[in-house]
Amino acid sequence: MANTMLELTGIHKSFGENQVLRGIDLIVDKGEVVAILGPSGSGKSTMLRCINHLETIDKGDIKIKNQTLAENGIYVDEKKQREVLSATGMVFQQFNLFPHMTVIENLIEAPIYVKKISRDEAIKTAESLLEKVGLSEVRDRYPARLSGGQQQRVAIARALAMMPDILLFDEPTSALDPELTGEVLKTMRELAAEHMTMIVVTHEMAFAREAASRVIFMAGGVIVEENNPKDFFNNPKEERTKLFLRNML
């Protein structure tokens, strides 16, 4: 299908004896915002990190924009991997900005060296992205001088600077003080409104309810239930989902 951005089929992943993913099937279409919920240790991060090969799968197929990254657990060669993965971007819980570079330097490093864009052009794009996330004024500061919320918005801008087609978020607000989560969620809502394809592992129920187009509930390394947010929250079908939601709300 032309609109398929991501296709996971039968993904298995173990850490030693610990079977963390036990057969994940997932198709994400262009423009979808998929929220992934689930108890701690259910494999949410691992699944997300398998998508961009931060973790190596044992079994299964991964296709990004209809290009194969891995088939039957065997990855395509390095060069091809880079090409396929260039469609993805990621935002981490701990931001992972480069501390020795200013905000603008963080944003232009990869576009210049990976995309081979001219420095002037990279700076122009970076400046407009900073404006978009409302951080033009911190352009020349080092990350340590920013609040957590500002750092995470810079991290989002840095990911966007590579013009990914699909953006992965692993608990982007979990490391933030409660009063700072709002500004990051606002930026993410704006991206969702622009139909950016996003997969968001989160504990923010309000974000899942209001900004997601689909909610997935994981437990024990499998997808237990998925639905549109309204039905997911109002009429959960599985016992495990009900229990989880009762504890969350």
Give the footprint of ligand ATP on this chain (CB under 6 A): 15, 18, 20, 38, 40-46
The CA-to-CA distance between both ends of the chain, in Å, stands at 37
Q: 45 or 181, CB closer to Mg ion?
A: 45
Tell me which of Mg ion, ligand ATP, another protein, none is bound by residue 158, counting a contact when its beta carbon lies within the kind-specific cut-off of 5 to 8 angstroms. another protein
What are all long-range contacts of 100-105, with beta carbons under 8 Å and residues at least 24 apart?
100/142, 101/142, 101/143, 102/139, 102/140, 102/141, 102/142, 103/130, 103/135, 103/138, 103/139, 103/140, 103/141, 103/142, 103/143, 103/146, 103/154, 104/130, 104/139, 104/140
β partners of residue 21: 13
Tell me which of ligand ATP, Mg ion, another protein, none is bound by residue 4, counting a contact when its beta carbon lies within the kind-specific cut-off of 5 to 8 angstroms. none
Q: 125 or 241, CB closer to another protein?
A: 125
Smallest gap from Cβ 98 to another protein, in A, equals: 6
Smallest gap from Cβ 39 to ligand ATP, in A, equals: 7
Q: 93 or 102, CB closer to ligand ATP?
A: 93
Tell me which of ligand ATP, Mg ion, another protein, none is bound by residue 163, counting a contact when its beta carbon lies within the kind-specific cut-off of 5 to 8 angstroms. none
Instruction: Assess 46 for contact with Mg ion (CB under 5 A).
Output: no
Rounded to whole angstroms, the Cα distance separating 196 from 22 reads 28
Smallest gap from Cβ 158 to another protein, in A, equals: 7
Tell which one of 8, 34, 45, 95 touches Mg ion (CB under 5 A): 45
Rounded to whole angstroms, the Cα distance separating 169 from 19 reads 23
Instruction: Assess 152 for contact with Mg ion (CB under 5 A).
Output: no
**How is 125-190 classified by DSSP, letter by letter?**
HHHHHHHHTT-GGGTTS-GGGS-HHHHHHHHHHHHHTT--SEEEEESTTTTS-HHHHHHHHHHHHH
Q: 143 or 149, CB closer to another protein?
A: 143
Which spans of this chain sit near another protein (rule: CB under 8 A)? Answer: 52, 54, 82, 85-86, 88-90, 92, 94, 96-101, 109-110, 113-114, 142-145, 158-159, 162
Radius of gyration over every alpha carbon of the chain, rounded to an integer in angstroms: 18
Q: 3 or 94, CB closer to ligand ATP?
A: 94
Which parts of this chain interact with Mg ion (CB under 5 A)?
A: 45
